[in-house]
Structure 1
Amino acid sequence: MQPSDFRVPTKRPYLLRELRSQLPSADDRVRSISGHDPTEYEAVADALYRVFVTARNLAPTRNTTNCATHPNGPIDPEPPQGWGRCLFCNSNRRIGNPQARSGGPVSASQYDVPPPPYTYEILYNRMRQINDAVYELALCSPDDAFGVVADLMHGAFIIARELSRPRSTSKCRVHPGAPIDPDAPGGPQCLFCSTAANKRARAVPPPQIRDRVRHPARRRYTP
């Protein structure tokens, strides 16, 4: 392709300017985290997702979740077996919303999902990579360069989203923020699941109706 044949996409100047205006604020939120409280990462995850949406609109179109409600939403890094990959729908299913359903496996390309563990240091280094990649962007940059930024932003959002989850060593998918029962049979586990299992074990079985025992007929005494 000759340089004279290149045409800047219509929305690219506006979206690139918006990306560069949103990124510093999100980066400042990451740098201002003072501890390891999951609630500190909630606002960070929201800010990073807004930046990711802008970066996604700059990148080539992808089908990420195969979800009718959130076709371009974030991907769940650990979807349960039989569930879709939409993080929003899976989060609603985890808190007990039976109407939340996402699509099946996706055959199209997906955005980057960094593997665990998820720590603040990994998020901080990811933000440094994003800042360097955005600095190199220009209106005439190839589509692949914008796709790389979208991948990095999606990964940063996933890290912050996972760090914002309630911490629990029980690793219960039904009650991720539940306390732990240290005296549960088989070792420490989710207190809610352990309590439910104990109630089922102590439940009184329903009464059973048995056939009445019939005695043999007595002979009448005749003098």
Structure 2
Amino acid sequence: MSYANVRELQSALNTASDIAFSLEAEPSALETNQLTDALRRALSAAGALGAEHGGTGCAEHPRGAVDPLYGDKDDPVPANWGRCLLCNDRRRRASAQRRGGR
């Protein structure tokens, strides 16, 4: 996780909070535009935090394939497994070998 992305998120949220708490009952167009811009900046910074680990959330394979069985009711993965297809496949193969399968 990048410290710069965290700082950008904190800064954008603080700015949005400051603007929101200073709004009058009938905010001007300028005030609402400033608030919208600060919230967009915060959303973008929050998205950048998650993008560092890709869709898998895996530090080893951040841009790898997401396991299609992750969260599948019929074939759920164990609770300590992640969304990374490569890691989960390795775990499935190791588990099958321990059970004596191929």
Calculate the TM-score normalised by the size of structure 1.
0.23
Calculate the TM-score normalised by the size of structure 2.
0.47
**Whose helix proportion is higher, 1 or 2?**
2
Larger-Rg structure: 1
